[in-house]
Structure 1
Amino acid sequence: MGQTRKIPTRTCTGCRETKNKKDLIRVVRDKDGNVFVDSTGKQNGRGAYICPNVECLQKVIKNKGLERTLKISGISLEVIEQLKKQIGDINE
């Protein structure tokens, strides 16, 4: 008998829904305090997850969900632009 593997789930910081880890975009804060979008999902550091849709991104920006989850004081515009680009690429 083969064992079935458990699919990891994570909670979106925007809509607060639990979804498969592979379906979400990961944003990471490494030990040096650098914040970046993790396309592999395997980088070391504290991670926050967001659904690949514009509504969740707007919620995260409005309620400062990424800042709270990553325990930082502010998100750079560069990271927000990377998220917008990645969400746009996925939805096209």
Structure 2
Amino acid sequence: MSKHIPFRTCLICRTKKEKSQLIRISLDLDGNIVVGMAPEEAGGKVLNTGRGVYVCRKEQCINKITKSVGKSRRKQAYALSRSFRQMISVENMDQLEKTLSGFMTKSAI
């Protein structure tokens, strides 16, 4: 019998992939963004362990969240806020941009 492999959906492109191929974005108890850590890896400091989103490692998906400006940036912040069920600050969006740039791959798939 094969082991169950969990799949998640990318917040941006809505593509379903294995959980291990996506980047997890969540909030800690202080409302700060935590990137790339499962709740058990973050020492249990993640707010609402189920309250997280996943993003592809594709350059397009990461850029859509981090490089957007003006109306588009507000739209991405709104998408994250809606997923987390609390407002995401501009400072958190800036922090997210810096952190996600290290996870990016140039893959077109």
Interval containing the TM-score (normalised by the shorter chain): 0.7 to 0.9
Query: How far apart are the structure 1 equivalents of 2:59 and 2:23?
Result: 12
Q: Which amino acid aligns with 1:34?
A: N
Measured on the aligned residues, the alpha-carbon RMSD in Å equals: 2.2
Task: State the shift of 1:69 in Å.
Answer: 1.4
Query: Could you tell me how far apart the structure 2 residues matched to 1:36 and 1:14 are?
Result: 18
- The code of the aligned residue for 1:35 comes to I
The equivalent position to 1:28 in structure 2, one of 26, 29, 47, is: 26
1:83 aligns with 2:97: no
Aligned letter for 2:15? Answer: E
1:18 & 1:30 partners in 2: Cα distance? 25
Write out aligned runs for 1:5-24 (5 A): 5-24=3-22
Give the match for residue 69 of structure 1. 83
Query: 1:58, 1:68 → 2: CA distance?
Result: 19
Of 32, 38, 41, which residue of structure 2 is paired with 1:41?
38
Say which SS state the counterpart of residue 48 (structure 1) adopts: strand
**TM-score, reference length from structure 2:** 0.65
Q: Please give the TM-score of this superposition, normalised by the length of structure 1.
A: 0.75
Structure 2 alignment gaps of length 5 or more: 67-71
Amino acid of the structure 2 residue aligned with 1:18: K
| Aligned sequence identity (%) | 30
| Gap regions ≥5 residues in structure 1 | none
Distance 1:31 1:67 in 2: 15
What is the identity, as a one-letter code, of the residue corresponding to 2:99?
Q
8 Å CA contact 2:7, 2:17 repeated in 1: yes
